[in-house]
Homo-oligomer: A and B are copies of this chain.
Amino acid sequence: MIKLGVLISGNGTNLVAIQEAIEAKKLDASIELVISSRPKAKGLKRAHDMGLQTMSLSSDIYDLGPSAADEIIASMMRQNEVDYIVMAGYMRKVGEVILKAFPDRVLNLHPALLPSFPGAHAIEQTWLSGVKVAGVTVHFANEVYDQGPIIAQRAIEVPEGASLGELEELIHAEEHKLYPEVLQLLAEDKVKIMGDRTVRIFY
């Protein structure tokens, strides 16, 4: 059983997928706290409707300096004794303050098969590039964006002539499956970062 703190900025569809996996007893975890970087994020209302503890940080706080919001997040996550911080569509950078407070305990999901298409526009770039295989990646966050140790990846065949919207749907559907699965592996203590900073899963 692991305790999770979830960071969101938008619709919170991955947050919902994680909470549903918990309720369906597929994931042995609890969401202790949801923090949104946008007070008006739809995901906040969803979290609230699911009975989760929520908190939001206004852009004023982020404007105070590069680590102002991070100090609050790290402190709140510690007070709630979370084991893992789960980035789920969080559109702000997670900085050193959080990474040092939760070393190898911050998870990120990226909508591409890293190292392909890092950055904020992965799905659009995937679509424009004409690749035939897309995918999703769950990795530990570290100082270098989208380069932390990879825990799991899933490939998705891009259907011929798929629209951007269709591709987005396929990728999000895969995310909603993969993220709870990876969290369950963590709950079962099957994930280990090796000496070379690659990740092994011990099934």
Measured CB to CB, the residues of A under 8 A from B are 113-117, 128-133, 135, 149-155, 160-161, 196-203
Contacts and interface: CB of A to CB of B under 8 A. Distances in A.
Contact of A153 (B131, B150, B199, B200): B131
Contacts of A151: 132
A155 B174 CA distance: 15
B131 A115 contact: yes
A58 to B, nearest CB: 37
Contacts of A196: 128, 130
Contact of A133 (B153, B198, B200): B153
A133 B155 contact: yes
Q: What are the nearest 9 A-B pairs in CB distance?
A: A130-B198, A155-B155, A132-B153, A133-B153, A116-B116, A133-B155, A115-B116, A130-B150, A160-B201
B115 A160 contact: no
11 contacts: A113-B113, A113-B133, A114-B116, A115-B116, A130-B198, A132-B150, A132-B152, A133-B154, A155-B155, A160-B203, A161-B200
Nearest to A115: B116
Nearest to A116: B116
A159 to B, nearest CB: 10
Contact of A198 (B113, B129, B203): B129
A200 B131 CA distance: 10
Contacts of A154: 133
